[in-house]
Every structure is written in C-alpha cells, then in structure tokens.
Structure 1
Amino acid sequence: MSSLTPFARLDGDEFSLVLDLRADAAEPVYFGPSLPMAEDLASLCDVLRRGLHASQPDRPAPRSLLPWAGHGHLCAPSIVVQQNGRPLTLRMPLVAISQREGDLCLQHRDDALGLSVQIELRIAHGGLVEFSTQMQNQGTQPIGLISLASLTLPLPSWATHMVRYAGRWSGEMQQQRLALHQGAITSASYGGRPGFGGGNWVRIETAGTGELHGDALAAHLAWSGDHVLSVECNADGDATLTMAARLEPGEIMLAPGDTFCAPRALVAVSAQGIASLRHAFHAHVLGAVVPDTAASTPRKVHLNSWEALAFDQSLDKLCALADRAAALGIERFVLDDGWFAGRRDDTTSLGDWVADPGIFPEGLDPLIDHVRRSGMDFGLWVEPEMVSPDSALYRAHPDWCLYLPDHPRLTQRNQLVLDLTRPEVSGHLFACLDRLLADHAIAYLKWDHNRDLFPLAGKSHAQVVALYALLDRLRAAHPEVEIETCASGGGRVDLEILERCSRFWASDNNDPFERLQINAGWFDFLPMRIAGNHVGPSPNPITGRQVAMDFRAKVAMFGHMGVEADPGGMSAEDRQCLAAHIALYKQWRDVLHAGRLWRLSPADAGVHALLAMHEGRGIALIAQTRQAATYDEPHIRFPGLEDDALYRVALLPPYCEKAKGQLSQARTYAEGTVLSGRALRLAGISLPLQYPETAWLVSIERGADS
C-alpha cells in the first residue's frame, strides 16, 4: 500500500499543474492558469475523472507522466529496456515524491529489475516548466536502454491542433498546423543533429487559438542530437505529447550503479494565446540560457565575407572589403571559409586550422590589425567537427573520423566527421582553437557544422555530449569570445547548445521574402537578439530573386543584423540606403532586443507584421511579400500597449519609394501623430500595402505624461 500523498501541485506565477497520485502514478489532471491555493484537489480530480466504458481494463491505466508497456496504457511507453538482447517487462509505480518551492521530484521504481526513474519538474525562469528525467540501474546486471522519454505529457482536453516546424536546408522552421487525429503524428531526425525540420519544437492549441486568445502549450527538447517527437491520440480521444532523444540500438548500456540522464524538456502553457508562450520562452532564453554577453551587450552589426569573396581571398581584397564595411557603420568583420592552409575550394583542408601562407604570409594579424584600426572587431569561421579526406590531419590520423570497419567512408560536402568521443581528437581540436584565440584578437567564432553524422557508429549520443564538453572547455578558457551555432543554417539550434553560444544562424537563405517566413518560426521560441539576420546580395544566390535594398535592410533589422554582400558591388544609392538602416538599427536595437515581440494583425498570408515594445518605446515592421488581394489592406492594429496611455506614432525613414506616394497622410506620418493605446489596439492605422516588396517601419513612443 502506497504512503504517497493523494495529490500534488506545482504553482508558477501564472499557472498551476495538478497531479492525481492515487493510482501510484503521476497523472496530470489540470495544467493551466493559476488555481486558488485553497482549491479542493480531491474534488477537482474527481470531477475531471471519466467513468468506465465497455472496452477498457477493469482498472484503467492512468494517463501518467511515465506510462510503461504491459499495464494497459493506450500510448507509446516512456521507457523501453532490454537485457541480453531480450525486452524487459516493467512495473514502474510511483513510490515517493519530494517537493520544495518551485520543484517537484517523482520517484518510480521496479524492485524486481532494480531500476528507478526519477522525473523532476522545476519552475524555470520565464515561467516555463523544466522536465528532467533520469534512469538508474540499481540491480546486479547490465541493462540496455532503448529509449527514455524526456517528456511524456498527457495533453489537456482542449488540445485539438498542433503546430509543428518542418523544413529543409534554406527553408527551415516552416509552420505546419495540423488537426490532431487518431494515431500518431511523428517527426524524428537521423543525422546526429536536430536537422532542418525543427522537430524538437512544437505548439499544441485549440482550433480558435490566436495571438491574444485561446488555450495553447509550447514545448521544446533541449538536445543537439537526434530526437523523436510524437503527438498520439488513442481511441478514447486522449492525446499525449512525447519528446525524446533518439538512441541507436545498443548505444546506451547501464552497468550496475550507472545513471542515464535524458535531455531536458521545457514546456510553457497559456490561456491567453500564442504571445504569452513566445514571451515566456524569450524571457527564459535571455534570462537563463544564453551566455551573459549575448543577453546584455549590444548586438554588433556584422559583415561576413562569404557572399563577397567566397574562396577568392587575398589580404588586399579582405582589407578593401573591411574598409567598405566600416564606411557603412559595420561593427564586426567576419572572415568566413577559405582562410586556412590549402583551402581553395570545398574539397580540401578541413582540419588544418592554420592561416594559409599564400593568403596571409605574416599570419592573420595584419588583417586583424587593419580591421581593428577601422573601428571593428574581428570574427572567424571554423568547422572543427569535420575533416577533409584531402587534409594533413586526415593523412596523419585516418582513424580519427567516425567510421565502420570494412565499410566505405562516405562523404557529404567532401567531408567526414571527426570522432569527438576520442579524447585525443577533442584534445587536438581544443589545442587548435585555443591557439587561434590566444594568439589573435578574435572576438567571435562562427562555428559551422555542414554535414550529417553517418555512420553514427553507435556514438550518436556520446558525440553530442563530447561536443558540449569541447565547447565548455573552450568557453572556460576564452569566456569573452562569442560563438555562433551554425549548421548549414538552422540545422542545429536548441536550448542546450545555446547555453554555449551567443547567437544562431537561422538559415543560409538571406532572401528577405523567405527569411520573413523562416524567422516567424524561430521567433515563436527564440528572441531576435540572438537570431543572425543579414542583408544578402541581389539577385539572391539561393532563390535568384531580385529585391530592393530598402526591403532587404528593413527585414534584416529585425534580428541580429548583419550584411552578407559586397558593398563594392552595390550602387551608391543602395549603400546610402543600407547605411541609413544600419544607423537606424543601432538607434533602436535596445528596443528590438529587449522588448516583447508581438505579431500584429492582419494575419494575411502576404503580410508579415511584428512589433517590439520596451519601456514605452516600440518599433514595428510591416512587410508585404505578394500582391494584395484588395487595393486596401485591413488596418494594422497594435497589441502590447497601455490602453489609457498616449503614444506618438510615426513612420521611420527611409521610406519605400514605390509605396510612398500612396500614403494618405504623408506629412502626419512623417511628423508623428498622437493616439491612445486603446485606439491603436482596436482601430489601428492604415498603410499602403498593395505592392509586393513593400515594407514600413513604424515607431510608437509613449508620451512623458502618460
């Protein structure tokens, strides 16, 4: 007979989670807005419990946080183990709970097998709930772990739809809204990283949920390797969300006394629409995840050399490019791929991390000194986890890559993957990077990862853990250096790697039409402050689309702004336009990067509208990407303001020349007009958005007396 208390609750500032423990399991019966502390939990759990129907076990299995097979659970089990190649049948009841303020720990145990599973629920910064799950082998025989879910969450009855984030290279984080149905909606990655599909991010909601209304829940698996995500609906209409690291068979063997810690999962819940979830995740990322420099220091405008020069590098060309960058107001010059020994194309030299003497006969310092004299700091591209078969490193150590004996060593992008689990490999990489950072004034590393991991060689999980250790060691030695996580764009972006990185590269695709859509997905979870967002060339090298500088620059302002194009190839008018937007970004980046982010109505498929609001100041981007269905688009309305306060509303120059002549009150918009927060929320403003490639910047500033 269990001595557990019958109920437990976890309360944040704005939510309550109630667990029914009467069936020796942790069964969530309520997860939503805060309940009174005096709430009768027994009555609440009783009125929410369903009666039996004709086709159920006599004692229905509870919808618990740890379902296991063989107990009548109508969903996938949270835990699968084996011994000597045979599956083990578990009985894993809840045996103990402990609770402190903001923390609830649930202990499950199978006495016959000597296995225990602990699930800890902790209120994290921003009002998220962090789920941490670990399994320990307390028996006498080794046990093979096939899977252990980081999160198994029975979903509330209001859950009818999910938004998942699918995609591909150059088209990441595309939002797909699906109605839940009987069966499973599943996504997984198999390349040793989360991949371009974004399947470790998900939102659950009602049919009518919007920006400011409706029930919704968002979840994330903080893991930089392979994952599995599933939303499964059973025949009773119950839906369950499961998130887990995907493990290779035989990869995790637990000897007696060993413990396996699953990656963390984070969950936010809202009864006031999607915006509340966004704000909770943004607050969590800036307050508890990214390094302090990323959360507090101004985000410098970058120029990356890739689209300007690619492999066609020389000291003279790079210095001239740096001069052109400084003239625009650029604050950081980043030397991309092509700087190291023998690297003339993408077929060679990865792993040989010394400056090419043909380009830099005196090393990197002459370029770095030139960049710093120009008023910029210096950043450098590296891809430490990879090796070219045509490299000095591979010729010296062909066994340092991930491979299977007697199998061909298949390449991707002419690369193999270094086995970071080998201490000599990680030690060598640390020595190379440490030497670069110790010998040169390098403020930033663009850490790229351009290849899937295959073969995994039974080391998928261990490779990710070894990567974290390498990054931790490097950051401890050089805490002032900022690191960007890049994996051919957004192929490896999660909150675990962002604990070690100051920003992420959202996509290799700088086409502003595509970036608006890509960024919309990322901004559901991650703040603009850490999202690399650059002005690319026109025509765009990926889409071929030609886009005016005014539109490219306005879109790039809403993120961590940069330039990935050669200013020398721009017209004087484009350079002037770009410089004006860079100056505007510097003027407003405190608001862009510290403010709450709102998505504005209308939610027309062709209109992308965002507002960042901070301490009474706001800046909005309203961008039209296709021809409007009507001559006059619906008014743009602004949430996030104080109803009774007065705000000065103005359009920020430079204006889109194509649409400027259609402004109904050009002088009023230029000088600014004063409206109440209520009027801006309920009525809004009218802007000409008839043409594709039209973008406006709107400033909203609260009056001093408001």
Structure 2
Amino acid sequence: MSSLPPFARLDGDDVSLVLDLRAGAAEPVYFGPTLPMAEDLASLCDVLRRGRHASQPDRPAPRSLLPFAGEGHLCAPSIVIHQHGRPLTPRMPLVAITQRGAGLCLEHRDDALGLSVQIELSIVHGGLVEFGTQLRNQGTHPLGLISLASLTLPLPSWASHMVRYAGRWSGEMQQQRLALHQGAITSASYGGRPGFGGGNWVRIEGDNVSEVHGDALSAHLAWSGDHVLSVEHNADGDATLTMAARLDASEIMLAPGDTFCAPRALVAVSAQGIASLRHAFHAHVLGAVVPEAAASTPRKVHLNSWEALAFDQSFEKLCALAERAAALGVERFVLDDGWFAGRRDDTTSLGDWVADPGIFPGGLDPLIDHVGGAGMDFGLWVEPEMVSPDSALYRAHPDWCLYLPDHPRLTQRNQLVLDLTRPEVSEHLFASLDRLLADHDIAYLKWDHNRDLFPLAGKGHAQVTALYALLDRLRAAHPQVEIETCASGGGRVDLEILERCSRFWASDNNDPIERLQVNAGWFDFLPMRIAGNHVGPSPNPITGRQVAMDFRAKVAMFGHMGVEADPGAMSTQDRQCLAAHIALYKHWRDVLHSGRLWRLTPAAAGVHALLAMHKGRGIALIAQTRQAATYDVPHIRFAGLDDEAHYRVALLPPYCEKARAQLSHARPYAEGVVLSGRALRLAGISLPLQYPETAWLVSVELA
C-alpha cells in the first residue's frame, strides 16, 4: 500500500470534513461547521472512534466513502461489476490522496482486477461539498458495470430522520419525514428521467431540527436519468446515504482503458437548521449552475397559451390573446402546443417542427411581430425528444425511435421516444431547432418531455448524455435564447439539466393550494427565481377547485410569475386584481429573486408562510389553505431579521376582502408599524387566517 497521511481535511468558509485514513480507507469522522485549523485531528478521530463490540469482524470494516463487498461492510457496496456475466468482488483500498486546488482526490486501486476509482471532493459555490466519482478499467479485459455510487456517505451520529420527496403527476415533491430504522429506505426511478417523486433530492435531520436550529444535511444527485437513493441503517446503529444513477444490466461496458464518470452528487450540511441548507443550495444554483442571464436579469412575467386556447388556435385568437396579455402587464407571450403542422390534438405531428399553414399562412413571423408590437417578447413550446407515429418524421424514419426488435412499440400520450444516441437523430433535431431559432425572433423555448422512456433498450444512460450534447450545441448556437425544462411538470428537474436551462416548470397543477405544497418541496433546494409559478383558471382544470383571483395571484408572485388562463374569460374585477398583482410582482421581484428565503412559524394547520429578504427589504406571503381549527391562529413569527434593527411592517394591497374586516387595527397595518427584529422573531404579528384561501402580503423594511 502506498504511504498515506493518517488524516485529511477539507475546509470551506462554513464547513469542514475530516477523514480518518489510518485503516487504509477514507472514513468521515466529522462533517459540519468549520473547525479551527489548529484542531488536533488525531485526538478528534480517537475520541470519535468506537471500540469493537461482540459479533463484529476482528478487524471491523471502516465506514468509508467507498465500501466494497468482502470485508464485512454492513451496507451496500459502492461498486458492482461483472466480467463475462460473472460477478467480481473488487478489493479497493485507498492508495493515494492528493490536494487538487481547494479539493481532495482519493485514489483506490485493485491491482489484481486492474481497477481504479477516484473520488474527488471539492467545496463549490455556496459552500456545498461536491462528490465526483469515476471508475477506470486499467486491466486487459472488458468489464460490465452494474452500479457505481456517486455518493456513499456514512451519516453522522445525530441522523435520526430523513425527508424524502415523493409524488406523482400534478403532485410533485411531497415531503415525507421518516424515522430512520434498521433496514433500508429506498427509492428509484425507471422511466429514463428522475420522475415526479423527486427521489434525487433528500434531507437528513436530527431529532429536534427547525428552521434555524439543529443538525441537518441535504443531498442531490445531479442527473437527468434514472436514479437510486438509499438510506441504510444497520444493526450497529450506523446509517449510510447512497445515491447513484440507475443502470440497466450490460448498459455500461468498459473496454480496457475506458473510464466511467458517475453523475455529481452535492451535499450541504448545517448545525443551524434547515434554512442554512436552503440558502446554500440557492446560492449554488444561482452562482454556479443556471445560465448567467437567468441568475441576473429580471424574470419576465409570462402568459402561456395552453389553458386559454389549448389546440383551438387561430392567428386571430392568438393575436387577441396577446393583446389581452399585454394589457395586464405581461412581458413574454408563450405559444404552447398546437402550433405546428397537423397538430389538432395530442395524437399527431410531434417531430414535424414547422408552423401549421392553416393557422399561420404567413408563418410564425406575423404573430411574433404582433407580440413584439404589444411590448412582449415571444416564446415557443417544443417537445423535441418525442415523435408521433402519425407524423411525417416517423413515416420517413420509423427506426429512429427507441424500440426492441420484434416487440410492439407501446405509446404513452400517443407518442414514442426518439433515440438521441443515433447521430442522425440528434443532427436532425439540432437542424430543426436551429432553423426555427435562426429564422424567427424567439426569445424562449419551453422544452417539454411528456413521456417516460420505455423501452430503454439498454440506452438510458447514453440517451441522457446525448440530450446534454444536443442542448449544449443549441445553446452555443443561440446563447440569447432561454430554455425552460418541463416534463409534464416536474418530472425532470436536476442541477445537470439546469446548467442548460433558465427555468423549470414545477408542476402542471396550477391550483394554488396544491402549488403551495409542491413549491414547498422545490424551494428546499431551488430558488424562486427559476421556478415557473402561474395564475391558472378557475375552476382549476386538474382539481376542479374554484379559488378567488386574489389568492391565486398572491401565490403565483412567489416564483417566476406567469399567467396560464385567458384574461378575456375573467371578470373585470379579476383582471384588475391580476394586473395589480403583476405590477406588485415587478416592484418586488428584485427581493423575491435575489433575497434569502425563510419559512416562518407557524407553518402548520394549513398555513404556508414565506419571507424573501434582501438588503433590508422583505416581502412575506402568509397563506391559509383550509379552515383553521380556532378563530385565532397563532402569531406569525419572523426569521431572517436582525434582532437589533427596527423594521416597518405593513400589509400590501390588494387585500383579501373576506378577511379584511377581521383585522384588529386595519389602519396601522396599512400605514405600517415599526418593531424590532427581536420583537418580530419572538412575538410576531397577528393576522386573520381563519378562513380558507386567505392570503396576505406583508412588507418588512428597515425603518
């Protein structure tokens, strides 16, 4: 074994990771807030190491970042490989550790099998720790890779619960807090994308964690394909978090000299509660992930044509819709599905990306010019990865889809998936999209993905990497065009796809009560600036619920605001209410999109309370989704303020009329009252929240 130092540490401004290397493995013994540089690592590792107990190997297996089978590890191995169908059992001790800039590179080798694994650890923007793992075949025979974990993290002793994010279409990112127990809690996706369950996001918590107190860590697998997540809690009381891309058998074959790079995993850790994790991920996304324009320019108010017109499109109807949108203060008009040749419903024409001459006899430019004349820029919906069996593209190239020979070609939403791994397919898609963007003044693409990938045909991993290559090429050719990632809502949202996209569609469900719950999950990791959040019609087409415009508009402000309804179908009062909220959004969007996001207490009994705070200015949304159990809801107490500073607190109009009469002192709330940050944190304010679908906007500004 190569000579190793006994210990290593990785330090950022707010985090330290200490590794004990004395057992020939990288064992994390401390992962938390920054330790003094003069800390005695030997003493720290010694006092944290437990003695051997009964019913253990004589040399207990280390709790390392790379556990492997055959040494008594009580968790799943990080690597599963085979050769000619025969499973192999690698033994991969740590042989070298090197400093690479501000990071560490850990090298493991199995000389007998000719394998090496490198784990690179680095502190990235926002204070997150990034894990990068790669496997290299240095032998003389090909190897089949079944699994390579991006992250195998022995969890700290305080870990008692996990928050995972489950869900379905129109109900994504539902938080489930589970106590860790002996055995494994796992999730996986099988549709070629992360899926609506959001299983590539997770939070680990201590017993008594809150917004600003207690131990917690959050982790994410930056991968747009299938994933596996597991938290194993063994009989020794140790818990291990594992995250990996899910691979099909024989999907990845490594010839001699080949290297497989696992997707990146990112981890944030906090001893000051959940808010610190949220702020770290938000800072990382805006500072190091999304395209620069998405992180720095004002997020324009959208109107999307889908709920207004769906497939019932004509040039005259679209022009009228654009005029009504502009009258509300909308800044971007997005033409959704139904604009291309032959598309009158969802059974045909995907793949034929030319404007339908029956709707646009002069092409798209007359509509784009009309939209521009109304003071808006133009966006367009596309679904490039899919093809309809009833389309010119499929009739010309039926072999371009993912399929298995001699098997039926099963559809979902009447469509098949194009095989992006075929160079001619990706070339055709680039040419089609490049032509659209070169020929027309299009500022924005809504890139949809409405179907799971089946059969994967052994190409799931390659399909994702081909998608990245296509997006990269398109963005290089048209850097000014913003792209939104959508997959029937939130079916494909991760930090790898967001490196190429300026926005994500959180859910197809615009019901504001459901959206508050969906957004609560997304906002744990992703900033409001890039989360599409629209005012939908009433009754809502998915839930059937009728909700007042005041509530719909206030909820939609907390995100990247848009409208997904026909203003012409609204009452005059509703249009005025919506226009007022759009103007309010524009006034406050620098705070909403640049500020730190805090959850306020109480956030129970149907109350959702958020505060965005930026440079001494803040705006809060306080929303009640159901009838309160008591007339007097507990006071709303504020986090994120300076205890010693004083703030002017006021209610922002328009007010919720049904609750306005219940204000104890309407005039001071309207004019503003000055209170200390300490009083707002400890005492809070009283708002009437007994009625369902009541929402208030509260401004908080340094006095």
Q: TM-score range with shorter-chain normalisation?
A: over 0.9
Q: Distance in 1 between matches of 2:626 and 2:314?
A: 41
Kept after mapping to 2: 8 A contact 1:28/1:65: yes
Q: Which amino acid aligns with 1:446?
A: K
1:467 match: 467
2:110 match: 110
1:157 match: 157
Q: Distance in 1 between matches of 2:33 and 2:287?
A: 22
Q: Which amino acid aligns with 1:349?
A: S
1:407 match: 407
1:247 match: 247
- Is residue 301 of structure 2 the alignment partner of residue 330 of structure 1? no
Give me the identity figure in percent. Answer: 89
Superposed, 1:144-293 pairs within 5 Å as 144-293=144-293
2:531 match: 531
Q: Which moved more, 1:587-596 or 1:205-214?
A: 205-214
Q: Distance in 2 between matches of 1:685 and 1:585?
A: 23
CA deviations 1:182-211 (Å, max 9, x no partner) are 000000000000000000000000121110
Kept after mapping to 2: 8 A contact 1:490/1:504: yes
1:351 match: 351
Q: Distance in 1 between matches of 2:154 and 2:604?
A: 33
Kept after mapping to 1: 8 A contact 2:625/2:693: yes
Kept after mapping to 1: 8 A contact 2:227/2:245: yes
Q: Distance in 2 between matches of 1:15 and 1:337?
A: 46
Superposed, 1:55-70 pairs within 5 Å as 55-70=55-70
1:89 match: 89
Kept after mapping to 1: 8 A contact 2:231/2:241: yes
Under a length normalisation based on structure 1, what TM-score does the superposition of the two structures give? Answer: 0.99
Q: Distance in 1 between matches of 2:326 and 2:287?
A: 32
Q: Distance in 1 between matches of 2:658 and 2:560?
A: 27
Q: Classify the secondary structure of the residue corresponding to 2:141.
A: coil
Superposed, 1:255-654 pairs within 5 Å as 255-654=255-654
Kept after mapping to 2: 8 A contact 1:222/1:496: yes
Structure 1 position 616, deviation (Å): 0.3
Q: Distance in 2 between matches of 1:16 and 1:368?
A: 53
Q: Distance in 2 between matches of 1:246 and 1:23?
A: 30
Aligned residues: 703
Q: Where does the alignment leave 5 or more consecutive residues of structure 1 unmatched? A: none
Q: Distance in 2 between matches of 1:2 and 1:371?
A: 67
Q: Classify the secondary structure of the residue corresponding to 2:126.
A: coil
Q: Distance in 2 between matches of 1:140 and 1:91?
A: 18
Kept after mapping to 2: 8 A contact 1:628/1:690: yes
Structure 1 position 54, deviation (Å): 1.2
Q: Classify the secondary structure of the residue corresponding to 2:135.
A: strand
Q: Classify the secondary structure of the residue corresponding to 2:109.
A: strand
Q: Distance in 2 between matches of 1:653 and 1:601?
A: 22
Q: Which amino acid aligns with 2:344?
A: R
Q: Classify the secondary structure of the residue corresponding to 2:253.
A: strand
- Is residue 8 of structure 2 the alignment partner of residue 8 of structure 1? yes
CA deviations 1:556-581 (Å, max 9, x no partner) are 00000000000000000000000000
Q: Classify the secondary structure of the residue corresponding to 2:475.
A: helix
Kept after mapping to 1: 8 A contact 2:534/2:563: yes
Q: Distance in 1 between matches of 2:390 and 2:675?
A: 65
Q: Distance in 2 between matches of 1:588 and 1:603?
A: 23
Structure 1 position 605, deviation (Å): 3.2
Q: Distance in 1 between matches of 2:101 and 2:276?
A: 23
1:662 match: 662
Q: Classify the secondary structure of the residue corresponding to 1:24.
A: coil
Which aligned runs of 4 or more in structure 1 are off by greater than 6 angstroms? none
Q: Which amino acid aligns with 1:625?
A: T
Q: Which amino acid aligns with 1:512?
A: P
Q: Distance in 1 between matches of 2:622 and 2:597?
A: 13
Structure 1 position 52, deviation (Å): 1.0
Task: Name the Cα RMSD after superposition.
Answer: 0.5
- Is residue 47 of structure 2 the alignment partner of residue 47 of structure 1? yes
Structure 1 position 2, deviation (Å): 3.9
Q: Which amino acid aligns with 1:516?
A: L
Kept after mapping to 2: 8 A contact 1:14/1:127: yes
Q: Distance in 2 between matches of 1:156 and 1:275?
A: 19
Q: Which amino acid aligns with 2:327?
A: A
Q: Classify the secondary structure of the residue corresponding to 1:126.
A: helix
Kept after mapping to 1: 8 A contact 2:162/2:177: yes
Q: Which amino acid aligns with 1:585?
A: Y
CA deviations 1:252-292 (Å, max 9, x no partner) are 00000100000000000000000000000000000000000
Q: Which moved more, 1:180-189 or 1:91-100?
A: 91-100
Q: Distance in 2 between matches of 1:314 and 1:604?
A: 46
Under a length normalisation based on structure 2, what TM-score does the superposition of the two structures give? Answer: 1.00
Kept after mapping to 1: 8 A contact 2:605/2:628: no
Structure 1 position 101, deviation (Å): 4.4
Kept after mapping to 2: 8 A contact 1:2/1:24: no
Q: Which amino acid aligns with 1:36?
A: P
Q: Which amino acid aligns with 1:167?
A: G
Q: Which amino acid aligns with 2:394?
A: Y
Q: Where does the alignment leave 5 or more consecutive residues of structure 2 unmatched? A: none
Q: Distance in 1 between matches of 2:279 and 2:259?
A: 35
Q: Distance in 2 between matches of 1:91 and 1:409?
A: 43
Q: Distance in 1 between matches of 2:57 and 2:556?
A: 57
Kept after mapping to 1: 8 A contact 2:605/2:629: no
CA deviations 1:104-133 (Å, max 9, x no partner) are 100000000110000000100000000000
Kept after mapping to 1: 8 A contact 2:116/2:136: yes
Q: Distance in 2 between matches of 1:123 and 1:204?
A: 20
Q: Distance in 2 between matches of 1:457 and 1:101?
A: 41
Q: Which amino acid aligns with 1:427?
A: E
Q: Which amino acid aligns with 2:203?
A: R
CA deviations 1:26-58 (Å, max 9, x no partner) are 000110111111111111111111111110100
Q: Distance in 2 between matches of 1:85 and 1:604?
A: 53
CA deviations 1:220-267 (Å, max 9, x no partner) are 000000000000011101000000000010000000010000000000
